Structure 1
Amino acid sequence: MRRIYLGTDIFRKKDSFYIKGETYHYLKNVLRLKKKDIFIGFDGSGREYIIEILEVGKNEIAGKILEEKEVYSTELPFDLQLFQCIPKGEKFDFIIRETTQLGIKKIIPVISKRVIVKIRREKIETKLRRWQKIAEESAKLSGRTLVPEIMFPVKFEECIKEKKDFGIIFWEGERNFTLKDFIQKLKEENIKNKKINVFIGPEGGFDEEEIKLAKNYGYYSISLGKRILKVETASIVALSILIYELENL
């Protein structure tokens, strides 16, 4: 059965509702759904519904909730947040797409000292809508019930202060503490429902002052190994290992 992201607002009325805009176009012109067709709609906050199409109009589709579907949770038992320094080109799109599939809860674009990308203020909202759409599509394809929230870009020195239970910052200059060491430490803790903040640098990495500041706020500086990885590779590798080792503790 088709599974479509519809957001939370549309489900405020528990009986019937209307689908408009891009989702209307997708259902009508791409999937070519018709009256009495049934699909699964999910709201991105953990709920799924079996929906019947009542009518397909010129600008909207009328739908009806047949039942709330029992959801098998695919979400992580802990709150994993990615603080990703903004890389060049379309790398950030790729990172959002792949880390959403891995189970990330929230993605915060970070502006650190070595970030080259300059996003003009008037284009930020457009970027955020695009990034959020990528997260929605990736969540749908990977069978997630939650859609990660893509936050407004924040300067490094501000977001490093955000509250967390555990925090790590990956740095190619680290020689003494590895991801394996950090995972071993977490295995000795109860991490269920705990918030883990993960910082990944831009091209050129973090500078030593940023690492020092992070440590002052309780972050572990961590090495990913002897070789320097590209930004998008580091994000996928680091989160994949973390999730694999910690998900079933």
Structure 2
Amino acid sequence: MQRYFLEEQQIQGDTVEFDKDSERHIRTVMRMQRGDEVIVCVSGSCHIVTLEEGEPLRAVIREKETADREMPVQVTVAQALVKADKLELVLQKGTELGAAAFIPFQAERSIVKTDPKKQDKKLPRWKKIVKEAAEQSGRRLVPAVFNPIGTDNLIRRFGEFDLVLAAYEEQAKIGDKRAFFEAVNELGEGKSVLIIVGPEGGLSAGEAERLSRSGAVMCGLGPRILRTETAPLYMLSALSYHTELSR
């Protein structure tokens, strides 16, 4: 069933009023008519609604959706700034895999640099990508997407999380197979996790030392070297398996 994320003011009692983008999608793309049902979500609460006729498009709430597809742990992805298509892939697929938030950060080896003049256009596009991915994958919540920050500011946020994991290529090269497994194996339901992935050239030795000294667990991700856009998806998949499928 098609899903739409709305604002609180769009629901009054048992009546739902759609915004223009959602209405256009319902009428033009889905070609739905009066009597058809969709799911609307507001602040993590989702309802099955029946479409009515009229301008603007409205619907009536029928019942509350009971299925919950959110991960039992809150995973924030700190992805170093990379080329636009790679970052957008991480946002889209990371949302499908259950990420709760995304924090782009400026790493030493990031080819892409932050440009405040362009950022005002990028952030709305990033938020649109995660919103559409959340609708497609049946999420209850749309992940938060933050403006890019520096590594020092990222480290200052470590205290917000129960566990910080950083993918580090050098750990994989020396055959590390335990750090990621052991850290995740002790992770309980309701905990918060920050996963950190460097840019195309990886984290520098200096960055890795600072992250480790500040409490991050430096992890190898198996015997193969993963691309920057693959690593966070691997980590999210492993966390999903551990917290959702293996229990």
- Paired residues of 1:177 and 1:221 also in contact (CA < 8 A): no
The gaps in structure 2 that reach 5 residues or longer are none
Is residue 61 of structure 1 aligned with residue 60 of structure 2? no
The gaps in structure 1 that reach 5 residues or longer are none
Q: What CA distance in whole angstroms lies between the structure 1 residues aligned with 2:241 and 2:178?
A: 12
Q: Measured at CA, do residues 190 and 198 of structure 1 come closer, stay the same or move farther in structure 2, by a change above 3 Å?
A: closer
Matching residue of 2:82: 87
Matching residue of 1:7: 6
Shift of 1:13: 2.0
Matching residue of 1:198: 195
Q: What CA distance in whole angstroms lies between the structure 2 residues aligned with 1:182 and 1:207?
A: 19
Between 141-150 and 102-111, the greater mean CA deviation after superposition: 141-150
Q: What CA distance in whole angstroms lies between the structure 1 residues aligned with 2:184 and 2:137?
A: 27
TM-superposition CA deviations, 1:189-247 (whole Å, max 9, x none)? 35211111100000111111111111121111111234322111222222212321343
Is residue 26 of structure 1 aligned with residue 9 of structure 2? no
Partner SS, residue 212 of structure 1:
helix
Shift of 1:11: 4.7
Residue type at the aligned position of 1:232: E
Matching residue of 1:40: 39
Matching residue of 2:163: 166
Q: What CA distance in whole angstroms lies between the structure 1 residues aligned with 2:149 and 2:175?
A: 27
Q: Measured at CA, do residues 242 and 177 of structure 1 come closer, stay the same or move farther in structure 2, by a change above 3 Å?
A: farther
- Paired residues of 2:162 and 2:193 also in contact (CA < 8 A): yes
Identity %: 28
Q: Measured at CA, do residues 120 and 51 of structure 1 come closer, stay the same or move farther in structure 2, by a change above 3 Å?
A: same
* Residue of 125, 128, 137 corresponding to 1:130: 125
- Paired residues of 2:49 and 2:63 also in contact (CA < 8 A): yes
Is residue 231 of structure 1 aligned with residue 213 of structure 2? no
Q: What CA distance in whole angstroms lies between the structure 2 residues aligned with 1:32 and 1:105?
A: 31
Between 95-104 and 171-180, the greater mean CA deviation after superposition: 171-180
Q: Measured at CA, do residues 56 and 34 of structure 1 come closer, stay the same or move farther in structure 2, by a change above 3 Å?
A: farther
TM-score normalised by structure 2 residue count: 0.89
Matching residue of 1:242: 239
Matching residue of 1:183: 181
Equivalent pairs counted in the alignment come to: 243
Q: What CA distance in whole angstroms lies between the structure 1 residues aligned with 2:62 and 2:191?
A: 35
Q: Measured at CA, do residues 65 and 122 of structure 1 come closer, stay the same or move farther in structure 2, by a change above 3 Å?
A: farther
- Paired residues of 1:183 and 1:245 also in contact (CA < 8 A): no
